[in-house]
Amino acid sequence: QGCDPFAQTQRSKLQHRRARINQQINKEMRMRAGAENLFRATSNHKVKETVALELSYVNSNLQLLKEELEELNSSVDVYQNDSESISVPMIPLGLKETKELDLLAPLKDFISDHYREEGILFEKEIKEFMELRQAMRTPSRNEAGIELLMEYYNQLYFFDSRFFPPTKSLGVFFHWYDSLTGVPSHQRALAFEKGSVLFNIGALHTQIGARQDRAALPGLNQAIDAFQKAAGAFNYLKENFSNAPSLDMSAASLNMLVRLMVAQVQECVFEKMTFLRAQHDFLTRLQLAQEAARVEDVYSLVHQTMTQAHVKDYVPFSWTTMVHVKSEHFKALSHYFAAIALCDCPAASDAELPEHEKAFIQFHVTMPEGPSLRVLLQDPEERRKLGKAHLKKAIMKHEEAMRIHGLCKILRKMDILQEVLSFAHKCSLSKYSEIDHEEDFFETGDAPDIHPKTHQKPEIKSPNFSQVKVTDLFHRLGPLSVFSAKNKWYPARRVHLMRGENGFGFTLRGDSPVLIAGVIPGGCAAEAGLKEGDYIISVNGKDCKWSKHAEVVQLLKSTGEEGVEITVITL
């Protein structure tokens, strides 16, 4: 079962709007194609002018629709959780929309032509498959929704083997809309259907991750798991499906999405560390500073990826801005925690000194100027000076994050992000004024950057398709080893056999279906025209495609003097 498509939840309203915009984009693009063809074909100057005017109108419509879809893709707040606590919003993806598909006639025809069975007898199975596809269009935003998509994806393996011969097309088009641009694409290849379902598995994981309450450890762990699985789905798609016709499934786009998910995992890991490392000692604060530097590092990489020439045109501006804001914000936090470690924690005692020295040697990207490490760690005034330099840098980075945030109209509406940024900025400012002495005449130096380091590396978790067991809906057609789209066989032959002195004159081998392994020359089977390599598909009218060796032997043995009628096929 999918979700109720008419339920008026915030998320379903978004998905309905997405579907409506997709359809309008489709209509405008068809009009544009028609107008362009007419423009090329006509030599009449007046007609050319009219068509050019029409084209500019269609293009401006398309631009407006693209902007509306971008705003929709930026509605990250709808996917967040409802708890009172303040968490930085995460970026989820909207699901790809698809058109309904009527498979009844093409599958019945294929079953009649290829399998030589009555197509009408398989209407129940065909309808069941179509219902599963319909349900998969509106998965619920939880584990059951993921399982529904997985079930359909696994069913496509059987569907492919049954109905997609290597040389001939089923004649059905799979239509899917691009998640980021809304542009429709269609292909006859089932790989496009599989890839689009896989994309939606990743997208649904992003929505599950974004809705977790990250103010508590269980929610954080679930968010980490969901974003790791999203990264795994997009990575699997990138490695196994190439030449997709839509931009959202191009290698560049999927690479960007994998990196974005890894960054969101890293951000959750930082939040988790702030929970687990509640102690206020020197080493813990250094660890948090390095965790924050690691988050800044991965978001900088995502920002670079999003601003590449062939990616930036279709990634929503609000995503690029948010990623940029986060990289500045976490850089500021890394300097803030470094300052707190130096200014709020007591100077190292002789016993603690070796451990503190070891941690501090690997802490900065380049060693800070000034006294030796030992003096720095044991002299409160030197610690305050370096702490002040770190705070100065933190405040600059907080201000930069707020400036970039202010450039994006959509992000400006997002109060929660504004709150997080200004709260962090105030913390750094108040700490600075607390440690700033009026008699400070030294020039505050430039603090070196902090070496990124994490205690939990993000994993890219590939989809575990085997967790959802499915049975082939079309198993009545027979075992796939023989009865598949890639195999061809001669029309079934009915043979009447009488038992001779030496039995029926053939030997059998294998199961489902049982194979005639040898035919004794001059025996009953040879005279009836049976050949080595024939498969027995029925005995006395009983279907034996799935029968075991022993079952077929028993059926043959139980025949009387009137003999036995068997049906065989030859590949």
Query: DSSP for 224-284?
Result: HHHHHHHHHHHHHHHHH----SSGGGSHHHHHHHHHHHHHHHHHHHHHHHHHH-----HHH
pLDDT of residue 76: 61
Domain coordinates of the chain in residue numbers?
10-75, 79-276, 489-570
pLDDT surpasses 80 at 42: yes
Compute the mean pLDDT over every residue in the chain, rounded to the nearest whole number.
Answer: 88
Give the chain's count of helices (H) and strands (E).
18, 8
Q: How far apart are CA 164 and CA 179, in angstroms?
A: 27
pLDDT of residue 402: 94
Distance of CA 9 to the CA centre of its chain: 23
Amino acid code (one letter) for 325: V
Residues pairing with 535 in the sheet: 515, 569
Superfamily of domain 79-276: alix/aip1 like domains (1.25.40.280)
Q: How far apart are CA 229 and CA 201, in angstroms?
A: 9
156 neighbors 179 (Cβ within 8 angstroms): no
Give the mean pLDDT of 564-570: 90
Q: Which two three-digit tokens encode residue 474?
A: 């079309």
Nearest to 538 by CA among 526, 549, 547: 547
Report H helices in 379-502: 380-406, 409-412, 415-435
Q: Phi and psi at residue 509, in whole multiples of 5°?
A: -150, 150
Nearest to 196 by CA among 130, 98, 129: 98
pLDDT of residue 332: 97
pLDDT of residue 408: 86
Q: How far apart are CA 293 and CA 159, in angstroms?
A: 48
pLDDT of residue 556: 87
Superfamily of domain 10-75: HR1 repeat (1.10.287.160)
pLDDT of residue 411: 83
Q: Summarize pLDDT for 194-228 with one digit per residue, the tens.
A: 999 999 999 999 999 999 999 889 999 999 999 99
Q: Choose the weakest-confidence range: 60-74, 265-279, 295-309.
A: 60-74
Amino acid code (one letter) for 459: E
The tokens 């009218």 sit on which residue? 541
Write the CA distances from 101 to 114, 129, 141, integer angstroms. 21, 11, 23
298 neighbors 266 (Cβ within 8 angstroms): yes
Q: Which of the four pLDDT bands, split at 50, 70 and 90, describes residue 68? A: confident
334 neighbors 286 (Cβ within 8 angstroms): no
**Highest-scoring range by mean pLDDT, 172-181, 230-239, 515-524:** 230-239
Q: Which two three-digit tokens encode residue 404?
A: 């970039």
**Highest-scoring range by mean pLDDT, 131-135, 362-366, 410-414:** 131-135
pLDDT surpasses 90 at 497: no
Write the CA distances from 293 to 329, 332, 333, 415, integer angstroms. 10, 9, 8, 25
pLDDT of residue 441: 57
pLDDT of residue 4: 56
Write the CA distances from 479 to 41, 201, 495, 545, 546, integer angstroms. 54, 29, 22, 7, 7
Nearest to 568 by CA among 558, 21, 552: 552
Q: Which CATH number fits domain 489-570: 3.10.290.10, 3.40.50.300, 3.40.47.10, 2.30.42.10?
A: 2.30.42.10
Q: Summarize pLDDT for 426-462 with one digit per residue, the tens.
A: 999 999 988 887 666 566 678 899 999 999 999 999 9
Q: Is 243 left (phi over 0), alpha (psi -120 to 50) or beta?
A: left
The residue among 181 and 332 whose pLDDT is bigger is 332
The residue among 223 and 372 whose pLDDT is bigger is 223
